């Protein structure tokens, strides 16, 4: 019952946003599903072969488009990059690195997109597995798959041992579709 209420509430938010847009209230839409840093998202997504709406959904889930956010675990910026991951990605990309750079939106999006694209390649372009690894870590995802704790399929998200990761994957995939529905072609 609670699951149905959450799903209904989610679609109700989308309908409110659509009606607000039709009535000229795009501010409501932009508050619920923002596209801040759109040119950086679009450019980096294109550069790495990513769907910009997937990137926007990750940013929405990770930081709500707030570049100054730090998680309790120490993840930083829009795409919530851990400093160790940021250092590794920067090294792979040939970029200078300082943990403070992760608070710079363009830098963070560039590093986050590279990392997300790498995870997608690692997991045969499967966004479910890549998002689980983005949130829960590659080692955990590999262990869950190897130990047959999770099949790796979208319809078996409830098998993921980490509730946060189960929720994260479902929310990002849902929001990717909502972004596409609400905005159509990327602007």
d(CA 145, CA 152): 7
d(CA 63, CA 185): 23
Which is catalytic among the residues 30, 62, 104, 158? 62
Is 62 annotated as catalytic?
yes
d(CA 186, CA 169): 22
Burial of 184: CB neighbours in 10 Å, binned 0-12, 13-18, 19+: exposed
d(CA 123, CA 138): 10
The catalytic residues are 62
């Amino acid at each position: 019952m609670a699951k149905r209420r959450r799903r209904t509430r989610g679609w109700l938010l989308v309908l409110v946003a659509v009606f607000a847009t039709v009535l000229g209230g795009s501010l409501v839409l932009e508050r619920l599903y923002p596209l801040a840093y759109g040119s950086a998202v679009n450019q980096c997504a294109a550069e790495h072969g990513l769907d910009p709406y997937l990137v926007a959904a990750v940013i929405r889930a990770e930081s709500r488009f707030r570049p100054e956010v730090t998680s309790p675990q120490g993840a930083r910026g829009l795409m919530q990059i851990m400093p160790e991951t940021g250092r590794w990605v920067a090294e792979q990309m040939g970029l200078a690195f300082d943990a403070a750079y992760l608070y710079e939106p363009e830098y963070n999006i560039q590093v986050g997109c590279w990392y997300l694209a790498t995870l997608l390649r690692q997991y045969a372009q499967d966004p479910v597995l890549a998002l689980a690894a983005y949130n829960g870590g590659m080692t955990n995802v590999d262990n869950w798959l190897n130990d047959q704790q999770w099949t790796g399929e979208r319809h078996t998200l409830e098998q993921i041992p980490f509730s946060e990761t189960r929720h994260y994957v479902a929310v990002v995939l849902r929001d990717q579709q909502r972004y596409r529905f609400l905005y159509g072609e990327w602007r």
